[in-house]
Structure 1
Amino acid sequence: MPQKFKTFVSLLSLIQLIFLYKTIKTMAATADLKLESSRLEEKVRAHLLPCEIKHRGSAKVSSFFEPFVEPAQDSKDVLKASFRGRPLLGRQVPVPPDFAGVVFKTAATDSDSKSLYASARFNEFVCWNWSTAPSNNDKVAQLDDWVAVANALHANSDG
């Protein structure tokens, strides 16, 4: 798999922006996306941290992380916080137009296919860096470019 495609796939999986009502196919597995509008009534605050957390359950983010997020002294657009004692700097990133920010949960199955169920939605998320201010070089800052490329690649050439 080409590196650019891997980066794009991991970026999408990290922020969980997914084309709704489509089936995502990988080499050996298929994931079916299930969407019920009633589940999308819950709106959440999403954070993209610059690390991998091997915990896949709920976390008390509203108690132990969000109360400590504050504007940075240098800029009104930059937020600051810390995670496990390490400083974080971040900024709000809107979900691109015509897309939906959706949090999906995996249902356990015995087959090669996975069913993903929508559990909440978000319109923006905070993208965090370790002690460096967010910039246009960040992968997430290039999200609009990736969306334009994806739309061009998947455009119907017949019409």
Structure 2
Amino acid sequence: MSIQVENNLKDSENSEKFEQRVHFLPCKIEEDGPANVHKYFEPYVQENENGELTATFRGRLLNGTKMSLPQGYEAIVVTETKRPLAENADRRFQVAGGFKELTYWNWDKVPSRNDNLVKALDWMDIAEAIHGDD
């Protein structure tokens, strides 16, 4: 099986499409489609003087922080328009957008350097220092 990713975005679309706002929530939502996050979630996010964020999702307290991807990295969002019928068939994805920053949320505790996502992003810098071209 091969995986192919095609970038069909024009340069004029790139600036807007690659500045998507992303929220990483500690839950699984059984939906894969657009959500009106700007109207129903973001207006209720509160930021304190330390830059820490709080919000609620379905009545549960969320604590969050804004995180940037390491320098030189950019995340992309891909979509698959037609999933193949066979499990080992070739798959095609298209670039739908991307982001360089995300809002990371935890239930009932402030995000810290001990969280797995934070460690994974730190690992990119560590790997570059170990295996870089210097």
Shift of 1:103: 1.6
Q: For the Cα contact (< 8 Å) 2:26–2:107, is it kept in 1?
A: yes
Give the alignment partner of residue 52 of structure 1, picking from 28, 31, 43: 28
The number of residues matched between the two structures is: 126
Tell me what 1:116 maps to. Answer: 93
Tell me what 2:40 maps to. Answer: 64
What SS is found at the alignment partner of 2:114?
A: coil
Amino acid at match of 1:34: E
Moved more, 141-150 or 123-132: 141-150
What SS is found at the alignment partner of 2:80?
A: strand
Q: For the Cα contact (< 8 Å) 2:64–2:105, is it kept in 1?
A: yes
Gaps of 5+ in 2: none
Q: For the Cα contact (< 8 Å) 1:94–1:125, is it kept in 2?
A: yes
Tell me what 2:103 maps to. Answer: 126
Amino acid at match of 2:27: C
- Say which structure, 1 or 2, has more relative contact order (CA 8 Å, 6+ apart): 2
1:107–1:130 CA distance, 2 compared to 1 (3 A): same
User: Over the residues paired in the alignment, what is the CA RMSD in angstroms?
Assistant: 2.4
Shift of 1:44: 1.3
